[in-house]
Amino acid sequence: MAAGQEKGRFTGYWLIAPAAIWLGLFFVVPFYSLLSTSLYDPEGSVLTGYKVTFHVQNFSQAIQDYWHPMVRSLWYAGLATLICLVLGYVLAYAIAFKGGRWRNLLLVLVIAPFFTSFLVRTLSWKLILADDGFIVNSLQAVHLLGQDGRLLATPVAVIAGLTYNFLPFMVLPLYASLEKIDIRLVEASSDLYASPARGFFKVTWPLSLPGVVAGTLLTFIPAAGDYINATLLGSPNQRMVGNVIQDLFTTTGDYAAAGALSVILMAVIVAMVMVWVRTSGTEDLV
């Protein structure tokens, strides 16, 4: 018995050890490497090697040089997240409350488009939004777009691409929380003479908030770091911070600046996430 308990006490550690070691070595430790990279002496290069000189100016330099793409990334990602929230909420609500016995199949349909490659999907948007394509021609016909107006290489195309590519990350957590809502609570609100809109904002919406928070995080974070949509659907005027980091690492080889910019991006995201979780968590849930 004692031996069994002893064995039981350690199996947990043995089972989690491989995953913990992998994530420790290749997820946690790399952040330390990134941090030290961001403090490299910018005089070094890939060939001659770098020295960690606690060159904190890398950060102020990075902010000064690249605050435009940084702000643009947050702005695009924020807008895309907002549109995803609206579209995703409607879709998740329809599946959860009107899906009936087709719910599982509908959920499969939500994920299905995302089994084709991210890049192939994004290139297909390039075709859809092309200059002489159906959408641009229609918008020109109703004068929403000038005769030489275009969608590609504009912020509209980049935000549309981000919205499309990250929509399932919004739908799935929203569905998970909407599905748990006891429909009798909504019925009770209408029995107590609440209008459908009031019932929604006082009952359904607050109960779905965990899904809203999870969905917005899972959409906003990858969207803020993405550069595929900005490159394929935008122009250099839509460069996002991901483009800059990627170029600094691979093309320019300026590891110090790239490291500093990555650290700044992560810090900004963590700060925004904390503020968002706190405001949505305490004020609305009480």
Partner 1 sequence: MSTVTEGTVADGTAPASTVAPSTRSPLQRLRGWVSKHLVMGLGALILVYMFVPIAVVVMMSFNDNSKSRNVYAFKHFTLDNWTHPCKPNGMCDAVVKSVEIGLLATLVATIIGTLAAFALVRHRFAGRSFANLIIFLPMASPEIVMGSSLLALFVSSGFGGRLGFWTIFIAHVMFCLSFVIVTVKARLGGLDDNLEQAAMDLYATESQTFWRVTFPLVLPGVMAAALLSFSLSFDDFIITNLNAGQNVTFPMFVWGAAQRGVPMQVNVIGTVMFVVAIALVLGGEARNRRQARALAR
Chain centre to alpha carbon of residue 5: 44
CB distance 229 to 121 below 8 Å: no
Measure Cα distances from 112 to 120, 143, 226 in Å: 14, 35, 21
Helix or strand run (H / E) with residue 40: none
Tokens of 54: 């606690």
Angle between helices 57-98 and 155-180 (to 10 degrees): 50
The reply on whether position 159 binds partner 1 by CB under 8 A is: no
Nearer to partner 1, 3 or 286 (CB): 3
The reply on whether position 98 binds partner 1 by CB under 8 A is: yes
* Part of the chain binding partner 1 (CB under 8 A), chosen from 63-71, 178-186, 252-260, 278-286: 252-260
Q: Which of 1, 3, 108, 192 binds partner 1 (CB under 8 A)?
A: 108
Q: Which of 79, 82, 130, 139 binds partner 1 (CB under 8 A)?
A: 130
Q: In whole angstroms, how close is the CB of 209 to partner 1 at the nearest point?
A: 18
Q: Which residues pair with 52 in a beta bridge?
A: 40
DSSP helix/strand/coil, 181: coil
Distance, CA of 88 to CA of 93 (rounded, Å): 8
CB distance 58 to 40 below 8 Å: yes
Q: Which of 83, 91, 157, 212 binds partner 1 (CB under 8 A)?
A: 91
Q: In whole angstroms, how close is the CB of 17 to partner 1 at the nearest point?
A: 8
Measure Cα distances from 196 to 28, 94, 161, 204 in Å: 48, 15, 33, 10
The reply on whether position 106 binds partner 1 by CB under 8 A is: yes
Measure Cα distances from 41 to 52, 64, 86 in Å: 6, 18, 46
- Letters for 50-79 (x = contact with partner 1 by CB under 8 A, - = none) are x-----------------------------
Q: In whole angstroms, how close is the CB of 123 to partner 1 at the nearest point?
A: 6
Nearer to partner 1, 116 or 286 (CB): 116
Helix or strand run (H / E) with residue 247: helix 241-247
The reply on whether position 46 binds partner 1 by CB under 8 A is: yes
The reply on whether position 193 binds partner 1 by CB under 8 A is: no
The reply on whether position 232 binds partner 1 by CB under 8 A is: yes
Q: Which of 123, 183, 188, 274 binds partner 1 (CB under 8 A)?
A: 123
Q: Which of 83, 174, 224, 230 binds partner 1 (CB under 8 A)?
A: 224
Distance, CA of 218 to CA of 213 (rounded, Å): 9
Nearer to partner 1, 143 or 159 (CB): 159
The reply on whether position 266 binds partner 1 by CB under 8 A is: yes
The reply on whether position 12 binds partner 1 by CB under 8 A is: yes
The reply on whether position 258 binds partner 1 by CB under 8 A is: yes
